[in-house]
Structure 1
Amino acid sequence: MGKGKLKRDGFWSRRRCIAPSRYWKLFVLLLIITVVFGMLSDLTYMSTEQVGKLNDRTEKQFKTIVTGEPVLRTSPKILLYTNFFGSMKWYHESKDVYQTKCPLGCTLTNDKSQIESADAVVYHLSDIASQSTIKSGFSFSFPKYRRQDQVWVFFNIEPLTMIWGDMTVWQGMFNWTWSYTQNSDVYAPYGSATTLNAEEAAVAETNSELLNADFFGAKTENGGIAMISHCTDEARRYRIIGTLQKYIPVRIIGRCGEGCPDGYLSCNALLPKYKFYLAFENSDCEDYVSEKYWRSLARGQIPIVAWKLYHDDIAIPGSYINVYDFPSIDAAGSYIQEVNKNKTLYNSYFKWRFTHKLSDVSGFCELCRKLKDDAVPRMVYHDMNGWIMNQTCKPVTVSLIVYVLF
């Protein structure tokens, strides 16, 4: 059936080469290192019950609205103070956004010497964490200068399972949050769709290209494909894929599968050929619908997802198959097998094109718009850790710690 081979990087790929006695010694050493590291860096993780209790709290319990005159900004300047996953590439890729996608008069810089004139200073969580080392005393070196009306923005696009540490040290530090979660001050999802208005819907209903579209016949490869490059398995993706492979062929490419011998462009070229894209996330988190889902829609594929949480307020209803909508994964596999060979049933998953359209999303545009809106009250997060942990999402598990350390 053309099953793809799942490759586990790090610890999982090495374990065959380690003698049993050495394996257990390394495992014990790992536990010791984990405990010691947790004590040194004050890493704390909440139980599901604790997260649930936090989730009952309102937004006002995490931030304080500051009274005072509204701030008027005609040409806001945004300073990217940190790298983005170790690189300032995000500045170079985004500096023209304000001129092309959102000409609202904002400017972007990564020059830290301009902090005194910056209206907003953006800090990327992962880069703050990566610079909190033993040498720095497990703390990030924030700038000493801060203007009273300056907005410090906490930016994060990673699910809770990727977030390390106790954020209580940042209480009272940030003014706005910028993330994929809908309760962020700057909401920046991985993708978006808008409902067609009456005029657009009427045009779509007479569009011969849409009416005659055969997405089923356009696929040259049978079954599904998944590109996985983040090999941790917090969401049990590999187990689900293994079950689905009993019903349809599934090919796995990327760093955790066959690889991309000619680079990622060669892998990307393979994706549109398959009927299904297995858009499985690496974590189960509220509002976490990544680019995997959105890009498969743009490619004319049916996304197969594994969402345990409700996402129909973000995703387009009827555009995907959720394996957790069935009594079992086997039941889902049996249904997908039928869709895989039934042209009419397969094409029915693209009716959303008569009611919705995909739209571009730019967090930078939303940040700019918010900075220019003098109706936005001044605020500060007095419970940053509470806001982060309030996202209903499984905390870090031992399996992830093992993967990271090995």
Structure 2
Amino acid sequence: MTSTPSLGRYQYLLLVLFLLVCFGGVFYTYMPTINWRQCSAVTFFSYDVCLDKCLDVFKEKHLLNSSIISTINYTVVKQQPPITTQPVMEENQETHDRNTIILMWPWPFGYTFQGESCSVKFGIEGCHFTGDRNQHDKVHGIMFHHREISGDLQTLTTMARSPHQRWVWMNMESPENSGRWGELDNLFNITSNYRRDSDIWVPYGRLRKATEQEKNFQIPPKDKTVCWIVSNWNPNFRRVKYFDELTKHIKVEAYGRHFNRFVSDEDYKATMSSCKFYLSFENSNHKDYITEKLFNALTLGAVPVVIGPPRDNYEEFIPADSFIHVDDFKTPQELAEYLTLLDQNQTLYEQYFNWRKEFTAEGSYFGLEHACRICQYIRSYTGYRVVTSLSKWYWG
């Protein structure tokens, strides 16, 4: 064990005087020999270049003996804060030591974003995102977008991961529309999904308390009764078969490639707002798989008519009187008759907007919200976690 050099009363006095006169007398006496522009109170007491220069001057002029020099070195070094080692990141080096670094593998659908957006959108601080895979062993976590990693399976199964690094499986597609690969078992330790039993739950949308201005919601003008905008047409889907039967009893304004009626992003909102009812038909039936098809209709002022999980699952997300479920009717014809009734009775129709007196609907920020909440999770939860069988949990 190294002991502190012992000092006499005279030597302690010299030590105090040294600290007081270093920047006074030495400055004026030896200014040509020292680059004083490099010196400051901060660097001095952190044992930087100025202290070395001062000591050299005092040693050279025999103002301090070696015992006092050793004591000064010992005292200043002992008072320094501990040094922490952080992984080196090429991107945003200035904020690296205070940020949680998340690697996007890859950026979801090529959509890039900045960590600052987490603070603006969700009040989550201290996040930094990168797409540089060369930094994979230095980041705090990696977000893997399931739909885009099929070509990287061999790399992922052989790539080393530290016990404390988080590998996050992110997927917003239903099991029927997601490739199932056994190699993913025991690979991840966090999941982020639309399912509420995932570690980091990010739904497609949500209801929140309305502001005073939002409570004054006015139903948009309508010139269409029932509408449907569909991009994924499959004659074997339940929603397509139901649509074919429904159109025998009520007119449906259908849009999409199958109908040669393309709707641009600019026209999407206006088109949906002009419809009294919108067919929010999901392409598959799975618990909690309630997508933007529902929340877009709610946001834009159309009453959603849904095909998907059972009604009680929907009611865990939205009020019972904010939507119409096809399962409440024995046949598509009965549904068509009910929609016709509501179309002809404005009072009954407006009851489906009572929820707007207290709430408003909004969609999620795909990719960005996942990354921000993953960052928040990693910053707040440090316990051990592993997903032993992703296949069994998600695909059953």
TM band (smaller chain):
0.5 to 0.7
CA 259–140 in structure 1, closer or farther in 2 if over 3 Å, else same: farther
* Matched position secondary structure for 1:100: helix
1:137-156 alignment to 2 at 5 Å? 139-142=153-156, 144-156=159-171
Structure 1 position 95, deviation (Å): 4.9
| Structure 2: gaps (5+ residues) | 1-96
Structure 1 position 221, deviation (Å): 1.6
Structure 1 position 234, deviation (Å): 5.4
- In structure 1, the partner of 2:277 is 276
CA 260–94 in structure 1, closer or farther in 2 if over 3 Å, else same: farther
Structure 1 position 145, deviation (Å): 3.6
1:129-144 alignment to 2 at 5 Å? 129=150, 131=151, 139-142=153-156, 144=159
* Alignment of 1:347 onto 2:368: no
Structure 1 position 74, deviation (Å): 5.8
CA–CA separation in structure 1 for the residues paired with 2:274 and 2:259: 18
Structure 1 position 385, deviation (Å): 0.8
* Matched position secondary structure for 2:137: helix
Letter in 1 for 2:300: R
From 144, 164, 177, give the equivalent of 2:179: 164
- In structure 2, the partner of 1:97 is 117
Structure 1 position 97, deviation (Å): 2.4
CA–CA separation in structure 1 for the residues paired with 2:244 and 2:256: 17
1:49-198 alignment to 2 at 5 Å? 75-84=99-108, 87-89=109-111, 92-93=112-113, 95-102=115-122, 103-129=124-150, 131=151, 139-142=153-156, 144-165=159-180, 167-194=181-208
Contact 1:79–1:112 (CA<8 Å) still a contact in 2? yes
* Alignment of 1:384 onto 2:390: yes
CA–CA separation in structure 1 for the residues paired with 2:276 and 2:322: 13
TM-score for the superposition, normalised by structure 2: 0.68
Contact 1:80–1:109 (CA<8 Å) still a contact in 2? yes
From 224, 227, 240, give the equivalent of 1:238: 240
CA 126–253 in structure 1, closer or farther in 2 if over 3 Å, else same: same
Contact 1:228–1:257 (CA<8 Å) still a contact in 2? no
Q: Provide Cα deviations, 1:211-252, integer angstroms capped at 9, x if missing partner.
A: xx4x2xx43322111111112355411222223223432111
CA–CA separation in structure 2 for the residues paired with 1:96 and 1:224: 41
Structure 1 position 281, deviation (Å): 0.8
Contact 2:289–2:309 (CA<8 Å) still a contact in 1? no
Which is further off, 341-350 or 364-373? 364-373
Q: Provide Cα deviations, 1:149-184, integer angstroms capped at 9, x if missing partner.
A: 10000111100111223x332221100011101111
TM-score for the superposition, normalised by structure 1: 0.66
- In structure 2, the partner of 1:370 is 377
| Structure 1: gaps (5+ residues) | 1-72, 133-138, 391-406
CA 222–358 in structure 1, closer or farther in 2 if over 3 Å, else same: closer
CA–CA separation in structure 2 for the residues paired with 1:233 and 1:157: 23
Contact 2:204–2:290 (CA<8 Å) still a contact in 1? yes
Q: Provide Cα deviations, 1:329-385, integer angstroms capped at 9, x if missing partner.
A: 2211211111122111111100011232325642233212211113x5321111111
Structure in which a larger fraction of residues adopt helix:
2
CA 140–330 in structure 1, closer or farther in 2 if over 3 Å, else same: farther
CA 120–265 in structure 1, closer or farther in 2 if over 3 Å, else same: same
Letter in 2 for 1:368: C
CA–CA separation in structure 2 for the residues paired with 1:145 and 1:351: 54
CA–CA separation in structure 2 for the residues paired with 1:171 and 1:265: 42
CA–CA separation in structure 2 for the residues paired with 1:248 and 1:239: 15
